[in-house]
Amino acid sequence: MLIDSWKEWPILWISACTHWWETVWLEIVDYVLNEIDISKNLIKWKIYLILSNIKAYEKSLELKKSGDPDYIINARYVEENMNRCCSVESLNNPINYERQRANELTEVLKKLDYQLDIHSTMNPSWSMFIHTEKSENKFKNIFNTDEIYIKLPDTVIGKPLLDVTERNGGIGMAIETWNQTNKDWYKVWVDNLLRLLLELEMIDRSTIDSSLLLDNKANEKFDIIGSIMIENDLFKPAKDFNNLDFVKQWEVVAYDGDKEILADSDCYIIMPSNKHSGEEYCFLAKKII
d(C-alpha 17, C-alpha 285), whole Å: 27
pLDDT at 277: 78
pLDDT at 198: 95
* Residue 19 or 256, more confident: 256
- The CATH architecture one would assign to domain 2-218 is 3-Layer(aba) Sandwich (3.40)
**Average of pLDDT values for 102-130?**
90
Q: What is the 3-state secondary structure (H, E, C) of 222-241?
A: EEEEEEEECCCCCEEECCCC
d(C-alpha 13, C-alpha 164), whole Å: 13
C-beta separation of 116 from 10 below 8 A: no
> Among 2-11, 86-95, 167-176, 236-245, where is mean pLDDT lowest?
2-11
- Alpha carbon of residue 57 to chain centroid: 16
**Average of pLDDT values for 269-288?**
89
* CATH value of 225-288 in 2.40.50.100, 3.40.50.261, 3.30.1780.10, 2.60.40.10: 2.40.50.100
- Burial (CB < 10 A; 0-12, 13-18, 19+), residue 108, is middle
Confidence category of residue 75, pLDDT binned at 50, 70, 90: confident
* Residue 25 or 79, more confident: 79
Q: How far is CA 224 from CA 76, 119, 218, 227, 270, in A?
A: 25, 19, 18, 8, 9
Say which residues have a Cβ less than 8 Å from residue 39's Cβ, sequence separation at least 6: 3, 33
Mean pLDDT in the chain?
Answer: 90
Confidence category of residue 205, pLDDT binned at 50, 70, 90: very high
Domain ranges of the chain: 2-218, 225-288
d(C-alpha 272, C-alpha 151), whole Å: 17
At residue 222's C-alpha, the angle toward residues 172 and 141, to 5°, is 60
d(C-alpha 209, C-alpha 21), whole Å: 28
* Residue 135 or 122, more confident: 135
Asked if residue 74 has pLDDT above 90, the reply is no
In the chain, the amino acid numbered 127 is: S
pLDDT at 17: 85
Q: Answer yes or no: pTM beyond 0.85.
A: yes
pLDDT at 19: 82
